[in-house]
Amino acid sequence: MISAISYSQISPGDLSQPHADLEGMSKCTQCHELGNKVADKKCLECHDEIQTLLTNRRGYHANARVKNKSCVACHNEHHGRKFKMIRFDQDNFNHDLAGYTLKGKHEVVDCKKCHTPDYIANKDIKKRKNTFLGLEKKCLSCHDDYHQKTLSNKCTNCHSMETAFKETPNFDHDKTDYALQGKHIEVDCKKCHEVTTRNGKEFQQFSDIRFNDCKTCHDDPHNQQLTGKCNQCHTEKSFSTFIGRNRFNHNVTGFTLKGKHKKINCFSCHTKTRNPKLVFQDKQKVSENRCIACHKDEHEGKYGTNCAKCHRENSFLSLRKMDFFNHSVTDYPLQGKHLEVDCKQCHKKRFSTPINFTSCNNCHEDYHQGDFTKQNGTSPDCVECHSLEKGFDYSLYTLEQHQTTTFPLEGAHNATPCFACHVDEKEERWKFSELGTSCTECHQDFHQGYISKKYYPTKKCETCHVNDSWRSVTFNHSLTKWPLTGKHKSVDCRNCHFEISNKNKLTTQKFKGLQTKCTECHDNKHGDTFAINGITDCKRCHVTNSWFPKKFNHNNTAFPLKGQHANVECKECHTAKTVNGKATIVYKIKRFQCIDCHQ
C-alpha cells in the first residue's frame, strides 16, 4: 500500500499501451535521466528505426523543421493506457515534410491505401499497427511490376503520377536505341509491342526487341533475293521511296561498283519494275569483266571482250598502261623503233580515233623540208631510205643509187662520208637538193687570186685535178711559157709553186711571175766558174733528164780529151779543194803539162 502510494506520487500517470512494459519505478531510467526530463537519446536507443532515418537523412523526422524538436514535443506520455502518442491531422498533413511530395493520383489516395503492412519490408515495423513508417519511395515497393523486371525499376522514366499507369507521358522513343522516324511515328505501339501473357499475367514486351533488320517485323517482299539491310534502299517514310544509290552495298552481289559505276543511277543498268520480286534481278549473271553485256563494243570484237584489260571504270577514256597491248591485231603491226614509242605519241586523241598510216610523213615531220619533192609535187616515202629497225639516223641509200643521180660519185668522193657533203653547217641540217656540182660549191677555192684566169676558166678545178686526190694534177704545163720536160715532169707542183715553212705549213703559193733560170730553183754548185758575162747558163751543159752534163763537150775546152784521157773519170782530174771553208770542185785547170798531173 505504501509503495503504491509512493509510485503514484512520483509517476504523473500511466504509460500508453506501447510503453506499458516500461511501467514501474525500477524502469524510469529507461526513458528518464535522473534530475532531468526525458532525453531524446533515450528514445532513440529504443526507437532505432527513427535513428536510422535521422542518420540517413530520410523521412519526416529528418526534416529540418522536425529534427530540432524534442521527441516529447510530439510524443508525450503518462496520459493513460489508451492515449494515442501518434496523433496528427491526416487531412491537413504536409507530406512534403516526409521527404515524399504527393503528386497527381497520390494526392487523392487515402493514407491507408499506402501506409499498410503489405508495403512495409521491415519485419519489425510491419508488425506495428497504424504505423506510417517503413515505406520506400520506389514505385515498385507498392505497385506490381507489370514489366516483370524487363525494364528499369524507375517507373517515372516513362510514367507520370499525373496520369494513369497505361499512359507514358515521360517516355521519349528517341532516347532508346531505336528512334522512331517516318511512318513508325504513326504506328500504334501494340503493332510492335504485342500484349501477351507471361508467368500467368498480362505482359507487353518493350525490351530485347530486334530492330537491326526490318525483316524481323516486316515481310520480305523481295523473297530473300536481295541481301543486306532494307534501310540501304528504303526509308521509314515509305517503302516506295528509293535511296539505294551510293548506299546499297553492291559488293555482296559479286559485282563491286568502281569509278563511274558508283555515280550512275541504279536504273541506268537495272530495269525499273513495280514487282518487288523482279527488281534488280535482271543482271544477276553479269560478271564484272563482261562489259559488253551493258556497253556497246566500239571495237566490234577486234580486241576481245575483256575491256577492263585496257579501260578503267573511272572513264572509258582513262586507260591503263598499254604495254601489254598486242598491236598486231590492228591494221598496223608495230615494228622496230615503233615498239619503243609511247602510245600517246601517235594516239593524240582516243586510241580508237583512226590514224592515217599510209605514209611516214602523216605522223612525222618532213625533216628534209621538201628536198626530195619531184616536179609533179610528189615525194618519196621515208621507207625508201630509212628502216623501222635502225631509225632515221641510218640510211638504206646505196652508192649504186647515188650513181643514178645528177652527181655520180667518182674517185675520193666514193670514200667521203655522206655528212661531209650533205650536212649544212649553218642550219645544222642534212640537205640533199641544190647542192651544186662544181668543186668550189663544196670545196674552198684554195688557189683563188693565185692562178691566172687563162689557165683557170670558170674556176673549174678539173682543169688540173681529178677526183682521186688533190695531189693528182693533170695540168698541161705546155700551155704555159715553161713546158715541163725531163725530170721536171715528175716533180710535185708544190715543190715549185708552194713555199713551206720549217713547221711544214704553207706560207704562200705562186703560179705567175716565176723565173725560168735554173739557179732560181736549184743551187749553183759551180759558182761563177762557168759564168759568161756574169751569168751561168746550166743548159749549156745539162739537160732536164739528169744532172749529168750530157751537153758538155770537152773538146770545146782548152784541153780536148784524147787517147786514154777520154776514159778517165772526171773526178780524177777535177778534184775538190776547200775554198773559203767550203769544199769546191775545181773544173777550170790552168796547167795542162803532163808533169802537172803525172809524176
pLDDT at 484: 93
Residue 47 has pLDDT above 50, yes or no: yes
Q: What is the mean pLDDT of residues 441-457?
A: 86
Place of cell 747558163: 537
Residue 1 has pLDDT above 60, yes or no: no
* 3-state secondary structure at position 271: coil
Residue 8 has pLDDT above 70, yes or no: no
Place of cell 519485419: 123
Of 69, 87, 70, the residue nearest 33 (C-alpha): 70
Element containing residue 582 per DSSP (H, E): strand 582-585
* 3-state secondary structure at position 230: helix
Element containing residue 113 per DSSP (H, E): helix 111-114
* 3-state secondary structure at position 495: helix
Angle at 62 between CA 68 and CA 18, to 5 degrees: 85
Q: What is the mean pLDDT of residues 28-42?
A: 86
Q: What is the mean pLDDT of residues 28-51?
A: 88
Residues in a beta bridge with 102: none
Q: What is the mean pLDDT of residues 90-109?
A: 91
pLDDT at 38: 86
The model's pLDDT over 516-528, given as tens digits with 9 standing for 90+, comes to: 889 888 988 888 8
pLDDT at 433: 86
As a whole number of angstroms, the distance between CA 124 and CA 128 comes to: 7
pLDDT at 141: 92
Domain boundaries, the chain: 2-136, 441-514, 532-597
pLDDT band at 9 (very low <50, low <70, confident <90, very high): low
The model's pLDDT over 189-237, given as tens digits with 9 standing for 90+, comes to: 999 999 999 999 999 999 988 888 888 888 899 988 888 888 889 998 9
Residue 544 has pLDDT above 50, yes or no: yes
Burial 67-90 (b: 16+ CB within 10 A, else e): eeeebeeebebeeeeebebeeeee
pLDDT band at 133 (very low <50, low <70, confident <90, very high): very high
Residue 62 has pLDDT above 70, yes or no: yes
pLDDT band at 553 (very low <50, low <70, confident <90, very high): very high
pLDDT band at 389 (very low <50, low <70, confident <90, very high): very high
* 3-state secondary structure at position 97: helix
Question: Within 13 A of 472's CA, how many CA atoms are on the CB side?
Answer: 7
The model's pLDDT over 330-382, given as tens digits with 9 standing for 90+, comes to: 889 999 999 989 888 898 888 888 899 989 988 998 888 888 888 888 888 99
The model's pLDDT over 312-326, given as tens digits with 9 standing for 90+, comes to: 888 887 788 887 888
The model's pLDDT over 230-263, given as tens digits with 9 standing for 90+, comes to: 888 999 898 888 888 888 888 888 888 888 998 8
Q: How large a percentage of the chain has pLDDT more than 70?
A: 98
pLDDT at 353: 86
pLDDT at 6: 47
The model's pLDDT over 425-441, given as tens digits with 9 standing for 90+, comes to: 888 888 888 888 888 88
Place of cell 503492412: 117
pLDDT at 212: 83
As a whole number of angstroms, the distance between CA 34 and CA 38 comes to: 9
